[in-house]
Amino acid sequence: MSRYDPTIIEPKWQAIWDAAGTFTAVRDLSRPKYYVLEMFPYPSGRIHMGHVRNYTMGDVVARYKMAQGFSVLHPMGWDAFGMPAENAAMERGGHPKDWTYANIADMRAQMKPLGLSIDWSREFATCDPEYYGQQQSMFIDMMAAGLVYRKAAVVNWDPVDMTVLANEQVIDGKGWRSNAPVERRELTQWFFKISDYSAELLSALDGLTNWPEKVRLMQANWIGKSRGLQFAFTTTGAPDGFDRLDVYTTRPDTLLGASFAAISPDHPLAKHLERHDPAVAAFLVECRKGGTTAEAMETAEKIGMDTGIRVLHPFDNAVELPVYIANFVLMDYGTGAIFGCPAHDQRDFDFATKYGLPIPAVFVAEGAEDAALTEAYVPMKSERVHFMRGFAGAEFQTGEAAITAAIAHCESIGVGRGVTNYRLRDWGISRQRYWGCPIPVIHCDTCGVVPEAKENLPVRLPDDVTFDIPGNPLDRHPTWRNCTCPKCGAGARRETDTMDTFVDSSWYYARFTAPHATTPTVAEDAAYWMNVDQYIGGVEHAILHLLYSRFFARAMNKTGHLPASAIEPFNALFTQGMVTHGIYRSVTTKSATGPNDEAAMIITVKYHFPEEVEGVTDEGVTSFDKKEGIVGRAFLKSEVDELISVTPSLERNDAYSALRLEGTKVDVFSSAKMSKSKKNVVDPDKIIAAFGADTARWFVMSDSPPERDVEWTASGAEATHKHLSRVWALCDRIGSMPADHQGTGDADLVRASARAVHEVTQGIEGFAFNKAIAKLYEFTNTLSKANASSSAMKQAIRTLAQLMQPMTPHIAESIWAYQGGAGLCATAAWPVADPALLIADTMTLPIQINGKRRAEISVPVDMTVSEIEKLALADQDVVRFLAGQPIKKIIVVPGRIINVVV
Partner RNA sequence: GCCCGCGUGGUGAAAUGGUAGACACAUGAGACUUAAAAUCUCCCGAUCGUAAGGUCGUGCCGGUUCAAGUCCGGCCGCGGGCACCA
Q: Please report which helix (H) or strand (E) contains residue 712, including its range.
A: strand 710-712
What is the closest distance, in whole angstroms, from the C-beta atom of residue 872 to RNA in the complex?
13
Q: With CB under 7 A as the contact rule, which of the stretches 74-82, 246-254, 480-488, 643-651 interacts with RNA?
A: 246-254
Q: In what side-by-side order are the strands of the sheet with 573-576? A: 71-73, 33-38, 534-538, 573-576
Return the residue of 45, 130, 154, 222 that touches RNA, per CB under 7 A: 222
- C-beta of 187 vs 774, nearer to RNA: 774
**Cβ atoms of 103 and 44 closer than 8 Å:** yes
d(CA 116, CA 694): 11
Return the residue of 214, 386, 516, 870 that touches RNA, per CB under 7 A: 214
Residue list 520-559, contact with RNA (CB under 7 A)? 539, 542-543
What backbone phi and psi angles, to 5 degrees, belong to 452?
-65, 150
- C-beta of 126 vs 254, nearer to RNA: 254
**Cβ atoms of 855 and 878 closer than 8 Å:** yes
What is the closest distance, in whole angstroms, from the C-beta atom of residue 641 to RNA in the complex?
15
Instruction: Name beta bridge partners: 369.
Output: none
What is the closest distance, in whole angstroms, from the C-beta atom of residue 249 to RNA in the complex?
3
> Judged by CB under 7 A, does residue 601 bind RNA?
no
Residue list 702-761, contact with RNA (CB under 7 A)? 702-705, 708-711, 713, 715-716, 718-719, 722-723, 725-726
- C-beta of 207 vs 846, nearer to RNA: 846
Q: With CB under 7 A as the contact rule, which of the stretches 11-19, 215-223, 486-494, 507-515 interacts with RNA?
A: 215-223
Length of the chain: 902
> Judged by CB under 7 A, does residue 150 bind RNA?
no
Site string for RNA, 376-415 (x = CB under 7 A): ----------------------------------------
Residue list 174-193, contact with RNA (CB under 7 A)? none
What backbone phi and psi angles, to 5 degrees, belong to 458?
-75, 150
Please enumerate in sequence order all residues whose Cβ is within 8 A of that of 619, keeping only pairs 6 or more positions apart, or say none: none
> Judged by CB under 7 A, does residue 897 bind RNA?
yes
Angle value at C-alpha 706, between 58 and 507, nearest 5 degrees:
40
What is the closest distance, in whole angstroms, from the C-beta atom of residue 722 to RNA in the complex?
4
- C-beta of 121 vs 864, nearer to RNA: 864
> Judged by CB under 7 A, does residue 248 bind RNA?
yes
Return the residue of 365, 655, 874, 891 that touches RNA, per CB under 7 A: 891
User: What is the DSSP annotation of 444-503?
Assistant: ETTTEEEEPPGGG---PPPS----SSSS-HHHH-SSTTEEE-TTT--EEEE---EE-HHH
> Judged by CB under 7 A, does residue 371 bind RNA?
no
Q: Is 55 helix (H, G, I), strand (E, B) or coil?
A: helix
Return the residue of 46, 423, 476, 660 that touches RNA, per CB under 7 A: 423
- C-beta of 143 vs 776, nearer to RNA: 776
d(CA 304, CA 441): 41
What is the closest distance, in whole angstroms, from the C-beta atom of residue 848 to RNA in the complex?
6
- C-beta of 473 vs 692, nearer to RNA: 692
- C-beta of 423 vs 476, nearer to RNA: 423
Return the residue of 135, 327, 496, 531 that touches RNA, per CB under 7 A: 327
Amino acid identity, residue 743?
Answer: G
Amino acid identity, residue 66?
Answer: M
Handedness of CA 794, 800, 802, 808 (dihedral sign): negative
> Judged by CB under 7 A, does residue 889 bind RNA?
yes
> Judged by CB under 7 A, does residue 297 bind RNA?
yes
Please enumerate in sequence order all residues whose Cβ is within 8 A of that of 731, keeping only pairs 6 or more positions apart, or say none: 1, 797, 814, 815, 818, 819
Return the closest-CA partner of residue 590 out of 652, 664, 515, 685: 664
Q: With CB under 7 A as the contact rule, which of the stretches 70-78, 212-220, 498-506, 525-533 interacts with RNA?
A: 212-220
- C-beta of 68 vs 725, nearer to RNA: 725
> Judged by CB under 7 A, does residue 285 bind RNA?
no
d(CA 855, CA 857): 7
> Judged by CB under 7 A, does residue 871 bind RNA?
no
Residue list 756-815, contact with RNA (CB under 7 A)? 768, 770-771, 773-774, 777-778, 781
> Judged by CB under 7 A, does residue 848 bind RNA?
yes
- C-beta of 228 vs 360, nearer to RNA: 228
Instruction: Name beta bridge partners: 576.
Output: 538
d(CA 216, CA 550): 12
> Judged by CB under 7 A, does residue 226 bind RNA?
yes
Angle value at C-alpha 15, between 14 and 20, nearest 5 degrees:
100
What is the closest distance, in whole angstroms, from the C-beta atom of residue 42 to RNA in the complex?
18
C-alpha 872: how far from chain center: 53
176-186: b or e for each residue (b if 16 or more CB lie within 10 Å)?
Answer: ebbeebbbebe
Site residue total, RNA (CB under 7 A): 80
> Judged by CB under 7 A, does residue 850 bind RNA?
yes
Return the closest-CA partner of residue 708 out of 742, 662, 671: 671
Return the residue of 294, 523, 689, 747 that touches RNA, per CB under 7 A: 294
> Judged by CB under 7 A, does residue 289 bind RNA?
no
d(CA 856, CA 898): 9
H runs (alpha helix) in 162-251: 198-203, 213-223
d(CA 821, CA 828): 9
d(CA 289, CA 299): 12
> Judged by CB under 7 A, does residue 886 bind RNA?
no
What is the closest distance, in whole angstroms, from the C-beta atom of residue 544 to RNA in the complex?
8
